[in-house]
Each structure stands twice: as structure tokens, then as C-alpha cells.
Structure 1
Amino acid sequence: MVKQQLMFTVEVPGSPEVAGEGKPRRHFLHADKPFVGCPPEASNLHENLLRGVKLSGDSPYLGSRPVTNGVPGPYVWQTYNEVLKRVKNLGSGFAHRDLGVDSAVGLFSINRPEWIIAEHACFLHSCITVPLYDTLGADAIEFIVNQSELGLVVATKDKAKILLDIKERLPTLKHLVIMDTPDEELIAKGKGLDVEVISIIDLEREGAEKPKEGTLPTKDTIATICYTSGTTGLPKGVMLSHENLLSFTAATRSLVDSNSVCNYNKDDCYISYLPLAHVFERIVQVCLTWAGARIGFYQGDTLKLLDDVAELKPTIFASVPRLYNRIYDKVLQGVKAKGGIGAMLFKKAFAAKKAYLASGHTNHMLWDNLVFSKVRARLGGRVRLMLTGAAPISADVMDFLRICFSAMVIEGYGQTETSGGASVTDGRDLSSGHIGGPAPHCEIKLIDVPEMGYTSKDEPHPRGEICIRGTNVFKGYYKNPEKTAETLDKDGWCHTGDVGRWDSQGRLQIIDRVKNIFKLAQGEYIAPEKIELVYQKHEIVAQSFVYGDSLQATLVAIIVPDEDVIKQWVISKGLPSKPLAELCQDQAVRKAVLKELEDYGRAEGLKGFENVKNIYLEPNQFTPESGLMTPTFKLKRHEAKKYYQKQIDEMYAAISS
């Protein structure tokens, strides 16, 4: 563990004083060095694949689980050499469809090997990939296809049907390449709409028979247009270059020697289930491909994810806080339900290892084998590196992961516009409650937000909107100069909309959101995400949506309870047991839960006006499929407000009555 006095970031030497903003800060080992961009031996993403091939040619690269009669079998692997051959053949097939430099190619499926193969085939010919995902809704898909003028989309059968159903509104679409086997009905439907429907295997075969060289990209070539799901309005197309997507690999490799990050290598194994349509998963896979590691894909059903993990036994696991919170809740619920000696032993082991964290250790010879091996087995038993991103994670959960899994746990912060990770925690730093500092591919500064009372001159900790500049920052929003100018200033700084502060060791903490705030009638500013994070730490709460009307003086919330917990909890309170839907409608249960959350909120430091004054219990979880969450499980506030407007009005009416 690093010494407590170590400063993790330093001000950029020679940076000028600018009114209304703090000086830029960089990683302490890279303050006076240029930003890293591309890693060794890879100036574009095709060369990144070639490096993986050089290291692991006949070793496994991409794995999947064939399902026979509903029963998944063991993982079946394609080697690096086999994948490269498929990439070249498919790339030639693309070229025979007149795809070349800057041609846009759509990718529309859940994570699977063909997604990766198709993307690399695009890179071989300097094409631009445009990921699609159906949780956006038909209108957004139509918008993306038409704005990027997609002529060819590589998709699974089910996704191809979605496109054919709206083909009359997609004038540029001419070819659908099917990752699984297309049926005659799909082929006929495409033919009737003047769309070629061809299997990926047939197109690869065609490319093998008629090889065609492509034009390789440079580091500045646009690699992908990654459309943000957003929380309001139409999605924006974030243009990311090859260097943008490679910069995180370069940043992590530059820190390996200092033990700031784990030395991932060709012996590592990773489970892929986070959406490839989003940049977090993409940059993780870029890192692993550069290192020649193996990547196994889940079956496609998150409910079966832990079964896939048990089969694959990954050494690296990446997730979002939503899943880590569920693991945390379930383990602690199990300990509580077990009671007796088992619970006492777990608590003793947990306390001992928490003290170990403070002294810089994640391993304990006795407790790891005696108590925590069963927890580690939930993720296959071999995980040594855990990554979390996309949303804030609580300090309690971070400590839990380090204690129970004895792994290096790295939290990253960033956006699509910063190619994912911009700030990362140092692997040697076992403290929690912060997101580390800028990685060596960027620098970060804070600019004043006077209307919220945050300034870069605040004592003892400077505060302000987080701005990021470096080789990871996007090139602009596709065909949208107005929105680009709002986010990317003339000096190359990306304005994130997040409010942060530097702590005493130069680490960044997220404390607020410029855009996701509202003012109550009495003039108090509210950051709903902060309050939701508090409530979701309570075992009763699976999900929450906190809302405040500017004409009202109080907050209300939609609470999705954890079904297993609330059923036991109501019994402990002397209330009758019922099915979840009926419990949620029971006024006595609602009042008891509200009182519980009020008490908990005060104990967790929420101010009086931050605690909700009425709640609605919702039995169904917020999901991307329901339109209430983005595919990376961020709440769509605008959509949630519209969806629950009736309940919101009723809660406020009850408060005022």
C-alpha cells in the first residue's frame, strides 16, 4: 500500500493561472511527459490485433458456449490465428460490397465473437463501426442508421428483423450480414425490400475466394461512432479515433512497472457481457487483445451469467456497480439469515481483513480459505483483477470486494466522450471513496460552478466541474457542431457536467452533477443521484428514483424493493406476509419503509430537505427494456418522470393533504 502522504496527482508545471478555474493536474509519474497515445507495436486497432496474434497465435482468443436442447456446453474457442483469418476474409467480403475508407458499418447484436470479428474486419479497411442496440427504441435506431448512412449492418437474425420491419424508413440500408444462420423467410423478406441478406460465413467464403487488400487506418482515423444512449432526446454520435480507443491501453501499460495497475497478460481470461455497444467494454477488450489474452462470451442471458462465470473461471472481471451491489447485498443477506456461529465467524473475518486493508494487504492466509473462498467461488474462484465503472460505487462495496475476493479492485471514471476511463484508482491505494486521478493519457482541471457554490479556490478542497483533455478525448459529435461546441471547447477540454473535488492526496471525488440537479421551492439545490446512492445501500432497496418538483418544498421517491429482503423484513415488523405486488400496495408497508428510509437517511448524513417525504413502492425493476434505464444501467430521469407522473402527483397530493 502507498504511504498516506503520497500525492497521486500534481499540478502541470508551468500551467498559467486562469480566473474561475484550477490548474490542470496529471498523474504524479507523468506530470512533465507528453500524454501517452498508442501502446507499443500498435498505431491502430488492426495492429493491436496483430500484436495479440504475435503473442498468442495458436492460443485461444474468442470463446462461446454452444447451447444444445437448452443446455449450455463447455466453452469452444477460436484461436488468434483463426480469428485473423476470418477477419481478412470478411474484410474482403466487405470490400466487394464497396466498403472502404470512412464507410460506416453497423453492428447489431449482443456480445458474441462475430461482433469482434466484424469490427476488426472494418478496421482492416479503415471503415467506421456504428454499434446499434435495440433498447434505444425504433425511433433512435432509425435516426442512427439514417444519420450515419449505414448501407451494411452485421446483425443477428432477431436484430435484422427489427431493421427490416422499419426498412421503408431506412433508405440507405442495402445489406444485412447475419451472424447466426438466416432462415429462408428472412432472406425472402429482405429480397422483397431490396436488401441482400447473407450469412457471415458465406460472406467470409466469398472474401476467401476473392481476397482484396484494404487501406489501413492511421491513429487519427475515426474508428467508431459510438452513440450515447443519453437520458433525454435523440442520441449523439461520439466520434472516437483509433488513438482514442488505444490510449487507455497505453495508459495502463505505462503504469505496470510502478504496480499502479495489475500486469494483465496472455494468461488472463475475461468474461464479456457488458454491452460492446458501449465504450467501457470496448476499451477493456482492446487492452486484453493487445496482451494476447482470452475472452469468453456469456450466453446472452444475464440471469445465467454466474453459470457462465463458473464454467469460464475468469481472472479479470469487469462490471458496473449495479451488479456489485447485488453481490454485496446477497452475501450479507445470506450471512444475516445464517446467523449463529457462521455469522459471527464472517463478521470476525471481515473485521480482520478490513484492518488488513488499512495496512495495505488484501490477502489473509486463514480467513481467505476458511471464510471467503465460497464468496470467491461466485465468480469462478480465480479473479485477481476487478474493474468497476459507468456509475459511482460506494466505499462500503469497494471494501467488500477487496476483502471477499482478495483481488486488486480498480475504479475508473470517464464518459463515452473520453473513450471510457479518464481517471483511475491506483491499485496500491486500498482506501475508498474516490476515483483516483487522471491516467497518463490525460489531464483534469476543475472549473467554477458559481450558481452551485463550487469554486476551484474552495478550502480545504478545490471543487468544480470536471474538465478533461488528452489523447482519449473524442473528436466531436457526428454531424452536430452545436452540441460539440457545448461539450468540447476550443482548447480541447471536454466539459463533463460532473462536479468533483480534489482531496488532500490529489485524488478526485465526484460530489455532484451540473445537469442532474434541481431546486426545491425553498431554494435548496438537490443532487438526486447522491440521495439514491444512500438509499440503495439499504438492504431493502434494490433501485430508487428520487424526484423533486421546483414548486414543492419536499422530495418524493419511487422505490423498487429487494423482493427477498422485504418479505422477511415485513414479518420482522409484525406485518402480514404477501406476494411482492401486494406488499407494494399495502399502505402499512409503505409507511414502515418510508420511516425506515428516513431514519437511515439521517444516519447516513442526509440533510432534512434531502430525505424523501413520501414514496411509491414499485414491484418491477427499472430495466433498459422498459425504457427507464440506459444499457449501462443509468436511470433515464426524464423517462422515469413521465412514466411515474401519476404516482408523483399522488404523492405530493398526499403530503399537502
Structure 2
Amino acid sequence: MSDHQSLIENRPPSVANLFLERIEATPEGEAYRYPVSPASGKGPDEWRSYTWGEAARRVFSIAAGLMDLGVRPEERVAIASNTRVDWILCDLGVLCAGAATTTVYPSTNAEETAYILADSESRVLIAEDAEQLAKARERRAELPNLAHVVVIEAEGAVAAEGDPEGWVLSLDELRKRGEAYLEEHPEAVKETVGALRSDQLATLIYTSGTTGRPKGVRLPHDAWSYMAKAITATDLVRADDVQYLWLPLAHVFGKVLTAAQIEAGHVTAVDGRVDKIIENLPVVQPTYMAAVPRIFEKVYNGVAAKARAGGGAKYKIFKWASGVAREYAKVTQDNFRRTGTASAPAGLRAKHAIADKLVYAKLREAFGGRLRACVSGSAALAPEIGYFFSGAGVHILEGYGLTESSAASFVNPGEAYRTGTVGKPLPGTEVRIAEDGEILLRGPGIMQGYHKLPEKTAEVLEEDGWFHTGDIGELSEDGYLRITDRKKDLIKTSGGKYIAPAEVEGQFKAVCPYVSNILVHGADRNYCTALIALDEATIMGWAEEHGLGGKSYAEVVGSEEVHKLVDGYVQRLNEGLQRWQTIKKFRILPRDLDIEHGELTPSLKLKRPAVEKEFGHLIEEMYEGTRET
């Protein structure tokens, strides 16, 4: 048995145990960095740190405070907050109290927040601020189990008329209660952690789902303990790493990164403000970072737009360098696969060296200059964008998993990564492809089931542990997985041809630097159409340069000039597609798709039914006068 396998098989029951081991091993080591805004509100943030020992003191006081409030093992404590260091400390506090965390996106409206709190029977809500508190207060009559709301940012979040006594308290007050509790019961937290069983519920994550009511996914302590061990066994994370964590922690992708960090013991800089990413990267200088494809698309489009704004010569150099990057990535990855060495012919190496000085070095600097790898997940990354970054020295390792599989079932192995695939299964995870192409998974990361939904659980989870992912994929002979589409998203045209819309959409994102979102439609129709939303920053920049300055976004995207521009990219896309995949007609949307209108999930996945419903009139327009066959 290998060392890695032995570590995974002999894992402790919970991440709470791993946390206690980490505190003991490196109490003075730096654990978390977090930003503090200047009191004046002007100037850059100041970054401060917690050592593992300091983090532990906070975590233990939160855990003991929850015990003092009467929270018992496996009872639920909800967290509704943006990504910040307090989220991680509170989550660890919940785990160390033996309770289970219910995650709630801060962008969730009051009605759905109440549904999650009620369905999970959460006893306590840890709310970020007055806004999150207000959602619970508005629906308090529907929440008989909710005994307390603990507020992280206490300003403005005070008890109101009609609140039961002690219903609202600040995080500082909770910690003070915990400190007093620990004076009387000094071993309470350690004893609770020591009594944890691997099959106890640790986390209840509600899938934002692309259809219907969210379902609570039950993940036991063992799932996170396994993930922590298995991820570090892949050499994806190292003890000397600096991770930049901005992903939503209510989402399984962000959550799994907190478990792996505790096992590896490296530093994590935490700041969930997406508008600060560009500003933070050179300050944090991460060695690795996880993101969703939309971020890489935005960076790529931003770099392309900047080059275009620099004039014809600059844009020509960028386009040439992009081509060189893609060619270099394909050649070196192919050679590594065949020979184990990422080599390239001398001529290509020379071109690559010039392009590196002119373009790639600046791109790597924008990422902080120390990035060893990025992990991309949650949705498919267009291969052409992946190849561009790979050739530019920003290595994007695509991974794959679902909420139901604790996020990370597959990940690309370091140097041997292959763009366009999601890599190999984590050690301890099994995979097989069903006859219809569906990916089935089995292993310690798979959920126990959907909360209070045995019929829904039985639909996807077989008695022998195989989980039906709903995704279609192909395995290479040496175990690399390629996802081709969601099973339910496959389009069958009226001519009987199957089309994977995500594949066509990904290719369009690689050719059109102005696209933000695209939805390809064609089920039971005799040709394909597309709804296209444009990225505001890049298209407004283009408009400025092409005589449309001063017009609103809606006016710009509705103009003949922009239609003509996008049409050129659609034609370019069609050149590389099979005849039945080509986009015959398209409509540019008057606004971008967003979470607020329910068209994107909080992890920025497209909700196809919602988009098709909202813009159904535009789809029908594109098929008017055609005969369905």
C-alpha cells in the first residue's frame, strides 16, 4: 500500500480532528490572511493574519458559544454570508461543536432563505449583517426551530420590537459566552471532537439547481476528511503554498478548498469581493487559486480588449501571441503525453520566447507573478481559452465534481494536465461510464442522500453506492475524463441529430471576445439558434472606438453595427462546426444574464429553462415561418 493510500484509508473521522492535529503541529504557522478596509474608507486595504493558534482560539470560543446556546451534535447551524475569514472560523466552530453547517448564499432572497432554514430545521443562523438578519426576521413566523441569529457585522443589526429575548446576538457576544463556557468546561470542545463519528452529518448544502426547489445534499464528516487527504495526495496543494480564496463558501467548490488547506497547513488569503480580484492578485501573490471559467473568460477578453485599444499594431501582436500560445500548449502537452517531457521544436520555442516578453510575462504579473496553477471547475472551460493560458504559463487544471460528490471527484494532475479534460479521479474514487454515456461515481466523497427526499435520492444513488451524475462523458485509455454535456441538456434536432450545446457555446466564447453568456437552442427544431449576451465593459469600449460613444448599453447592443460585429464571429464559429450544429440565427439580449433575475446560479452556471422562459419570445421569433419536420 502506498503512503498516500494509507493516509487516505486511515483518515480521521472529521476535518475537526484534522484541525486539532494542525493546531498541534504548527500553532505559530500563518493560517489565514484577511483584508481590513482603512477607517477613512480611502486607500488600499490592510491585510492582517491569524496563526493556526489564534484561529483555534476563535474557533473554540464559537464552538463553545454554540454549545452554550443549546446546540447539540448534528443539529443545524446556518451560515448566510459572503466569503470572508469569519465564514471559515464559524464553519469550523460548528464542526467542533459536533453540529452541521447549512450553507446559504447571501444573494438568496428572503423566501428561499426561509425555505432552506425551515427545511434544514436550522437552530441558529450566523448572518453576515443587518441585511441577512432582516431576511430571517421577515419570515420568523415560518421558522419555529430558529432559536438565535448571530450577526458577524453587528452594526445596525440589533434586536427589534417583537424579537424574542436573546434572539439576536453579535458574533463577539457568542464568543464571550463561549469563553465563559470553556472556563467551566475546559475540555468541552476536544471531547466533542473526540466523540465525532465519520457518518455524522457535517454539512447540508442546498443545490441552487437549474430547475425547481433547491435540494439539501447531506455530506457526512467523512466526505470532507477524505477530500482533505485525497486532494493533498495529488500534490495539488503544498505546505508552502499561498492560496487566494474568493469563491463562494456556500458552494461546495469553495468549501472543499478549506478542508484541503487544513490538511496541507498552507496560508489562505480570504476575500470574497469579486470586484477586488484584479486589485488583490498582485498584493496576495498566490501560488494557486481556484476559479470558475467565467473569471478566465473575463481576463482573456479584458487582455484582448486592452490590446485592441492600444491600436492596430498592438492588437496584431496579441493575436499572433495568442496563436503561438495555443500552438505551444498543444505541442508541449502532446509531447508530455507521449514522452514524459514537455518539449517543443526550436522554431516554436524561439517564437514563444518573443511572445513571452511581449505578452505572457505581463499576463502572469497580473496574476501576482507566482502562480503555479489555477484550478477551474463548476462548468466547462472552453479548450481554446485553456490552451491560451497554458501557453502563456498560467496553468489551468480543470477539475470535476458535483455538490453530491463533495466537489472534487476529478482533477488534472500537475505537469501531466490535459486541456479539454477534467483529469483523473482522486485516489479512492471509482468511475464508470454507463451504456448511455452517463458518468457514474462511487467513493467516500459521495453524499448520504438528499435531505428528507428518499425518492429523489433513490433516483440518483444506487444501493451499491454508484451515483448517477447526469453528465455525459468519455474516458481515455489512461483514465482522463472528458465531459461532453449534461444528460438533460443534450439537444436532439427534429432531423434526429444530437448536439451538445455546451460544446458549441464554449467554442463561441473562444472566438468572440465580447461574449458574456450564450445559450444555444435547437431541441425538436430543424436548425440551431442562439441567444447572446455581451460583456458590458468590453462592448462599451468597442462602441466608444466605433462612433457609438455616449449611447447606453441597451442602445449599443441593439445597434446594427454590433449585430454585424457579432454576426462575423457567428460565421467564424460556424466554419468549425458540423452542418447540423451551425447557428442559423441569433439574437443579442438587451441585458446580460444574472443571478438576480434567476438566470444564473450563484456559481455562475446557466439556468437554461429560466433563460428560455424569459426570452422565449426571441427564440420563437427566430423560428417564425419555418416548418417543423
Which position in structure 1 is the counterpart of 2:70? 98
**Superposed displacement of residue 532, structure 1:** 1.6
Selected match of 1:548 from 522, 538, 554? 522
1:202 lines up with 2:173 in the alignment = yes
Q: Which residue of 1 aligns with 2:621?
A: 650
1:377, CA displacement in angstroms? 1.8
Note the alpha carbon deviations across 1:140-184, whole angstroms, 9 max, x for none.
22221111111211111221111112212222212011111243x
Residue 412 of structure 2 is aligned to residue 425 of structure 1? yes
Distance in 1 between the 2:514 and 2:505 partners?
13
Quote the Cα distance in structure 1 between the aligned partners of 2:576 and 2:69: 60
Deviates more, 1:568-577 or 1:331-340: 568-577
Q: 1:64 aligns with which of 31, 34, 42?
A: 34
The equivalent position to 1:439 in structure 2, one of 416, 419, 426, is: 426
CA distance in 2, matches of 1:316, 1:594: 35
Q: In 2, distance between residues paired with 1:439 and 1:611? A: 37
Contact 1:499/1:513 (8 A) holds in 2: yes
The residue number in structure 2 matching 1:15 is: none
Q: Distance in 2 between matches of 1:138 and 1:635?
A: 22
Out of 20, 41, 63, the residue aligned to residue 50 of structure 1 is 20
The answer for the alignment partner of 1:246 in structure 2 is 225
Provide closer, same or farther for how the CA distance between residues 520 and 594 of structure 1 changes in structure 2, counting only shifts above 3 A: farther
Write the distance in 1 (CA, Å) between the matches of 2:123 and 2:548: 60
Partner of 1:89: 61
Query: Alpha-carbon deviations, 1:424-476, whole Å to 9, x = none?
Result: 21222243221222121211001112xxxxxxxxxxxxxx1100001111111
TM-score (norm 2): 0.88
1:234 pairs with 2:208: no
CA contact (8 A) 2:128 2:153 kept: yes
Deviation at 1:622, TM superposition (A): 1.6
Pairing of 1:161-176 with structure 2 (within 5 A): 161-176=134-149
User: In 2, distance between residues paired with 1:146 and 1:349?
Assistant: 51
Q: 2:346 aligns to what?
A: none
In structure 2, give the amino acid aligned to 1:140. Answer: E
Secondary structure class of the residue paired with 2:154: coil
Residue 390 of structure 2 is aligned to residue 402 of structure 1: yes
Letter of the aligned partner of 1:397 in structure 2? Answer: I
Q: 1:412 to 1:37 in 2, by over 3 A?
A: farther
Q: Give the counterpart letter for 1:493 in structure 2.
A: W
Aligned residue in 1 for 2:380: 392
Structure 1 residue 562 and structure 2 residue 535: aligned?
Answer: yes
Task: Report the equivalent of 2:88.
Answer: 116
Match of 1:10 in 2: none
Q: Alignment partner for residue 372 of structure 1, among 351, 357, 360? A: 360
Report the secondary structure of 1:372's partner residue: helix
CA distance in 1, matches of 2:249, 2:102: 11
Cα-to-partner distance string for 1:3-38 (whole Å, 9 max, x where unaligned): xxxxxxxxxxxxxxxxxxxxxxxxxx98xx997784
Which 5+ residue runs of structure 1 have no aligned equivalent?
A: 1-28, 257-261, 450-463
Deviations 1:170-209 (A, max 9, x none): 22212011111243x63125x5356611111111111111
Which residue is equivalent to 1:24? none
Deviation at 1:113, TM superposition (A): 1.4
Give the corresponding residue for 1:282. 255
Structure 1 residues 77 and 159, CA, compared in 2 at 3 Å: closer, same or farther? same
Counterpart pick for 1:302 among 274, 288, 307: 274
1:620 and 2:574 aligned = no
Offset, 1:371: 4.1
For residues 264 and 131 of structure 1, what CA distance do their matches in structure 2 show? 27
Conserved 8 A contact 2:12-2:18:
yes
Give the direction of change, closer, same or farther, for the CA distance of 1:598–1:181 in structure 2 (3 Å limit).
Answer: closer
Say if 1:135 and 1:627, in contact at 8 Å, map to a contact too.
Answer: no
Cα displacement (A) at 1:311? 2.0
Aligned-pair CA distance for 1:327: 1.2
Counterpart selection for 1:480 from 438, 453, 459: 453
1:224 to 198, 203, 216: 203
Cross-structure match for 1:312: 284
DSSP 3-state at the match of 1:613: strand
Give how far 1:581 is off: 1.4
Using the TM superposition, give the Cα deviation of residue 343 of structure 1 relative to its aligned residue in structure 2, in angstroms: 4.8
Q: Point out the more displaced range, 355-364 or 101-110.
A: 355-364
**What percentage of residue pairs aligned between the two structures are identical?**
28
Task: Give distance in 1, aligned partners of 2:140 and 2:318.
Answer: 61
Call closer, same or farther: CA 1:348–1:313 in 2, change over 3 Å.
Answer: closer
Is residue 298 of structure 2 the alignment partner of residue 326 of structure 1? Answer: yes
State the alpha-carbon separation in 2 of the partners of residues 235 and 36 from structure 1: 37
Q: For the residues of structure 1 that align with 2:206 and 2:423, how far apart are their CA atoms?
A: 27
How big is the shift at 1:655? Answer: 6.1
Is the CA contact 2:377–2:398 (under 8 Å) kept in the aligned structure 1?
yes
Please say if 1:382 is aligned against 2:361: no
State how many pairs are aligned: 600
C-alpha distance in 2, partners of 1:346/1:522? 38
Residue equivalent to 1:467: 440
Tell me how far 1:570 sits from its aligned partner.
7.2
Letter of the structure 2 residue corresponding to residue 615 of structure 1: F
Q: 1:88: how far off?
A: 1.1
Give the residue type in structure 1 aligned to 2:26.
Answer: S
1:120 partner letter: L
SS in 2 for 1:500: strand
Write the distance in 2 (CA, Å) between the matches of 1:55 and 1:368: 41
3-state DSSP of counterpart to 1:282: helix
Match of 1:143?
115
Q: Which runs of 5+ in 2 are unaligned?
A: 336-340, 344-348
Distance in 1 of aligned mates of 2:151 and 2:446: 33
Picking from 178, 201, 204, the partner of 2:151 is 178
- The CA deviation at 1:549 is 5.3
1:637 aligns with 2:608: yes
Q: Whose relative contact order is higher, 1 or 2, with alpha carbons under 8 Å and at least 6 apart?
A: 1
Judge conservation of contact 1:268–1:294 (CA < 8 Å) in 2.
yes
- Pick closer, same or farther for the CA change 1:120–1:471 going to 2, 3 Å: same
Instruction: Choose 214-223 or 169-178, whichever is displaced more.
Output: 214-223
Question: Shift in Å at residue 125 of structure 1?
Answer: 2.0
Do the aligned residues in 2 keep the contact of 1:567 with 1:577 (CA within 8 Å)? no
The one-letter amino acid paired with 2:583 is: V
Look up the match of 1:595: 567
One-letter code aligned to 1:242: H
Partner residue in 1 for 2:100: 128
Cα deviations by residue, 1:90-147 (Å, 9 ceiling, x for unpaired): 1111111111111110011001111111111111121010011143433322221111
Change (3 A) 1:178 1:524: same
